[in-house]
Amino acid sequence: MSTATFTNAIGGNITVDASESVEMSGTSATNPNLLSFISTSTYGSANSGDINVSTGRLTIQNGAIVGAGSFATGAGGDVNINATDSVEVIGVAPSQSAGSLLGVSTLGAGNAGNLNIKAPKVIVRDGGRIDASTAATGDAGSITIHASDSVEVSGTGSGNIASFDKFCR
């Protein structure tokens, strides 16, 4: 699921409301190079849209990605996660060794958006990543986590690091 802008027209938002859970997992069964993702991105001068997820439990696993990115002069969108139970970013895609990712990024002159997570529990393990990054002149976004119970970071992953470049092209 994605929205993108390639010109000076503003990119669309993505809103997901699911009372119990949202689960994203791995790659396509028919093509292991296709990752499961929710993304907004800009390849032009306009800003990309935001991603808003409200659910009980958000699980991003086995190489899946939720993220907003900028590849040009427009700003990347914000990613806002509101979960009443937990947010989990777990594991890698077996076919690519790419870690599951929840993040914001810029690979251009536009600034990345911000990542906001509100949940009682936030779990990142076994190669999963929560990330705000820049690989160009634009500023990386901020990460804000409001966890009323706990934040757990554990385990390791091996292989490639998932990037917005991989899923937004």
- The pLDDT tens digits of the residues spanning 55-110 come to 999 999 999 999 999 999 999 999 999 999 999 999 998 776 778 999 999 999 99
Task: Tell me what the pLDDT averaged over the chain comes to.
Answer: 90
Task: Say yes or no to pLDDT of 130 above 70.
Answer: yes
Name the percent of the chain lying above pLDDT 90: 79
Residue 13: per-residue pLDDT: 98
Residue 30: per-residue pLDDT: 81
The span from the CA of 13 to the CA of 77, in Å, is 8
Per-residue pLDDT, averaged over 116-142, amounts to 96
159 falls in which pLDDT band (50, 70, 90)? low
51 phi and psi, to 5 degrees?
Answer: -115, 125
**Ranges of each domain in the chain:** 2-26+35-164
Q: Which residue has the higher pLDDT, 93 or 146?
A: 146
pLDDT tens figures, 104-117: 999 999 999 999 99
Q: Which residue has the higher pLDDT, 21 or 97?
A: 21
122-135 residues labelled b (16+ CB within 10 A) or e (exposed) = bbbbbbbbbbbbbe
Residue 47: per-residue pLDDT: 96
76-90 residues labelled b (16+ CB within 10 A) or e (exposed) = bbbbbbbbeebbbbb
Residue 93: per-residue pLDDT: 84
Residue 38: per-residue pLDDT: 96
